Amino acid sequence: MIEHFTPAEIEAMRPAGRFVAETLATLRDEASVGTNLLEIDARAAELIAQAGATSCYVDYHPSFGAMPFGKVICTSVNDGALHGLPHDYRLRDGDLLSLDFAVSIDGWVADSAISFVVGEPREEDLRLIETTERALEAGIGALRVGGRLGDVSAAIGAVCRGAGYGVNLEFGGHGVGREMHGDPHVVNDGRPGRGLKLLPGLVIAIEPWLMLGTDRIFTDADGWTLRSADGSRAAHSEHTVALTEDGPVVLTAPTLPLG
C-alpha cells in the first residue's frame, strides 16, 4: 500500500533524517586507512544508542537475505554494490566504501547512503561516485506534484546511461515512513509520464547505484553482500525525500558530523 503523509507527519520525520545524515557524516569523517568495518558498525551502534534511536537493520530478514542482517549499517567495499555485511576487514588505501544507514526515531524511519574513497582515490572511482550523486539530484529534481514516478526513474537513468554506465533494475528506491521498505518501488531507469501519479505527502528513498563494468550482480557467500558480476567497483547514493506542495524536501540532507 502506498502511503501519503500529512505535513505534521513529515515534520515528525525530520529528527530521524537529521540523525541519519549526522551519523553518516561522522562515520565518513572517522573512516581512514586501517579502520575495521566492524569498528564502523560498532560506532554506528554507539551513536544509535546515544540518540535513543532504533536500528532498521539488526532484525531485518527479507527474502533475499540468508538470515537476519545482525548489524546496524551496510558497509560495501569496492566490488560490493549493496547490502554489505560488516565483517573483519581493515580498509586499505584507495578502497571505495559505501555506507547505507537507516534508523527509526519515535516510530519514523529515514534511510540514506553515501560513497567515498579512503586514502588516495582513482579517477574512475570519483567519476562513478559523482555520477550516482548527480543521478540522485536529478531524481529529486523530477519529484514534482502532478508528475509521474516514471519521471523520477527516467531522470536517474538519463544521468547514469549518459555517463556510459549500465543500470540494474533489480534493486532501487522505495517508500519510507513507519517502515524502512514500503511501496512504491522506485527503479533507477524508466520512461517519463508513466506510473504512479505524484501527490503531496509521498515519502520515498531515491537511491541510484552503479557499477563500473556491468549491470549484473551476485550474492556473496555471506548471504547478504551484493557484488558486481565482473568484480568492478560500485557506488551508491541515497536520500529520503518528502514531496510537499512546495516541492521535494530532502529529509537526510548532509549536516555537520556529531561531536
Known binding positions for substrate: 83, 181
Q: Cell 548489524 maps to which residue?
A: 71
Contact residues for 215 (Cβ-Cβ < 8 A; gap 6+): 165, 166, 167, 168
Cα–Cα distance measured from residue 238 to residue 245, given in angstroms and rounded to the nearest whole number: 22
| 136 in Cβ contact with 206 (< 8 Å) | yes
Residues annotated as binding site for a divalent metal cation?
A: 100, 111, 174, 207, 238
Which residues sit in the known binding site?
Answer: 83, 100, 111, 174, 181, 207, 238
Q: Which three cell numbers stand for residue 161?
A: 546511461
Query: Which is nearest to 23 in space by CA: 60, 49, 59?
Result: 49
